[in-house]
Amino acid sequence: MKAELCANGDFLARSRQTPELFSEPCDFTLSNGVAVSITAAGIISFTPAKVQPDTKHIVLSCGVHGNETAPIELCDDWVCALLTEQLVPAHRVLFLFGNLPAMDIAQRFVEENMNRLFSGAHSDGEGLVNAERRRASQLEQAITDFFENAGKHRFHYDLHTAIRESKNEKFAVYPYLHGQARSEEQIAFLSACGVKTILLSQSPTTTFSYYSSHQHHAHAFTVELGKVQPFGKNDMTRFEAARQTITRLISQPTLELAPMGDDVEIFTVNQVINKQAEDFVLHFADDTPNFTGFAKGTLLAQESGASYYAEHEGEAIVFPNASVAIGQRALLTVVPTTLDAQ
């Protein structure tokens, strides 16, 4: 098993169908001098012949939730183009296809939400072990290895799609930076990808993007590119700006970007509402889109022992989900802000 296995670029298909082929790490060099390293099913990196101090070290992850297919299809296309030398990387790039078994059953996860298992959370809970916990640990290790000896130009875009419609279709969660300044240049990059809404998280989490941001000092984001659709059912024209901008990021030595414009909306997270009881209910319709605002004082959710209200006029809801496990986030609320106010 070496280069021939990936000669047609079908790394993802092989990772899903015959993961055992990748049980041993394998390295090979393409005819254009690009070094390829496969460390496990769904984990592949590309290193250009010349690595310099200004080389970027870019992680693109997808499928941390198995049913969020558009980003998986985008990453599959980039990996295929790189393996077949139609795309030549100017920078180091690591692709992580997160939850392969969940992709096979077209579900968000098999046993546990993998995007709550990072920063070591995969090892919490009295010896509980499952495939998602092992994979989260393996993905952390892949990032640790990739960023080892990497220069300071570190990036991780963890690509997702949201469960429900969103008034602002594309948005990104900017992890909590513990008081450090947020990067306008990164917001300009996301804006060029068509992602013009940014949520500033105000607390540590166990998500993948927070892990890379906090542990590896990468510019890291959870990027929501649209709404969940089955494989093959995405309208890929809706992802064209992201596809083109990320292709340029990978392949151009220097990425020219327009500065962050007035069309970017910044929100700060006001409430993180974690489900504490089995009777947790949302007090708005199931099809209420993300970013719907509510009047101050509106009852948003309720459970035994607690009621949750909009605390500000127009406070908007994001990621409502009453079906999460006890202790997990069931709702975020956000309010508009500016970068200067942070």
> Within 10 Å of residue 215's Cβ, how many Cβ atoms?
16
Phi, then psi, of 82 in degrees rounded to 5: -70, -45
Whose tokens are 């963890």? That residue is 158
Counting Cβ atoms within 10 Å, is residue 68 exposed (0-12), middle (13-18) or buried (19+)? buried
Q: Residue 84 forms beta bridges with which residues?
A: none
170 binds Zn ion (CB under 5 A): no
Kindly state the smallest distance separating residue 220's Cβ from ligand LFNQLBSZ, in Å: 9
**Measured between alpha carbons, how far apart are the two ends of the chain, in Å?**
51
Nearest residue (beta carbon) to Zn ion: 160
Q: What Å distances lie between residue 155 and 95, 120, 209, 245, CA to CA?
A: 12, 20, 10, 14
65 binds Zn ion (CB under 5 A): yes
Q: Which does 209 bind (CB under 5 to 8 A by kind): Zn ion, ligand LFNQLBSZ, none?
A: ligand LFNQLBSZ
Query: Which of residues 18 and 203 has its CB atom nearest to ligand LFNQLBSZ in the complex?
Result: 203
Catalytic residue among 140, 224, 303, 315: 224
Whose tokens are 């949520």? That residue is 199
Give how many residues touch Zn ion by CB under 5 A.
3
From the list 28-36, 161-169, 176-184, 251-259, the region that binds ligand LFNQLBSZ by CB under 6 A is: 161-169
Q: Is 312 annotated as a binding residue?
A: no
State how far the Cα of 53 lies from the Cα of 39, in Å rounded to an integer.
25
Q: Is 68 annotated as a binding residue?
A: yes
Kindly state the smallest distance separating residue 304's Cβ from ligand LFNQLBSZ, in Å: 23
Kindly state the smallest distance separating residue 7's Cβ from ligand LFNQLBSZ, in Å: 34
Pairing of strands 299-303, 306-309: antiparallel
Query: Which of residues 161 and 191 has its CB atom nearest to Zn ion in the complex?
Result: 161
Instruction: Please answer whether residues 69 and 234 qualify as being in contact, where contact means their C-beta atoms are separated by less than 8 angstroms.
Output: yes
Q: Which does 162 bind (CB under 5 to 8 A by kind): ligand LFNQLBSZ, Zn ion, none?
A: ligand LFNQLBSZ
Nearest to 265, CA basis, from 337, 340, 342, 163: 337
213 binds ligand LFNQLBSZ (CB under 6 A): no
160 binds Zn ion (CB under 5 A): yes
The one-letter amino acid code at 209 reads: S
224 catalytic residue (yes or no): yes
From the list 19-27, 158-166, 172-180, 208-216, the region that binds Zn ion by CB under 5 A is: 158-166
Nearest to 269, CA basis, from 317, 222, 223: 317
163 binds ligand LFNQLBSZ (CB under 6 A): yes
**Order of strands, sheet of 306-309, starting from the edge strand that comes earlier in the sequence:** 281-282, 299-303, 306-309
Q: What is the CA radius of gyration of the chain?
A: 20
Contacts with ligand LFNQLBSZ, 304-323, as mask; x by CB under 6 A: ---------------x-x--
State how far the Cα of 4 lies from the Cα of 28, in Å rounded to an integer.
10
* Interface with ligand LFNQLBSZ (CB under 6 A), residue from 122, 160, 196, 275: 160
Q: Is 65 annotated as a binding residue?
A: yes
218 binds ligand LFNQLBSZ (CB under 6 A): no
> Within 10 Å of residue 52's Cβ, how many Cβ atoms?
9
State how far the Cα of 124 lies from the Cα of 37, in Å rounded to an integer.
30
Query: Which of residues 39 and 209 has its CB atom nearest to Zn ion in the complex?
Result: 209
CA 262 to centroid of chain Cα atoms: 25
Contacts with ligand LFNQLBSZ, 229-268, as mask; x by CB under 6 A: ----------------------------------------
Which residues sit in the known binding site for Zn(2+)? 65, 68, 160
Residues making contact with ligand LFNQLBSZ (CB under 6 A): 65, 115, 160, 162-164, 173, 207, 209, 222, 319, 321
> Which are the catalytic amino acids?
224
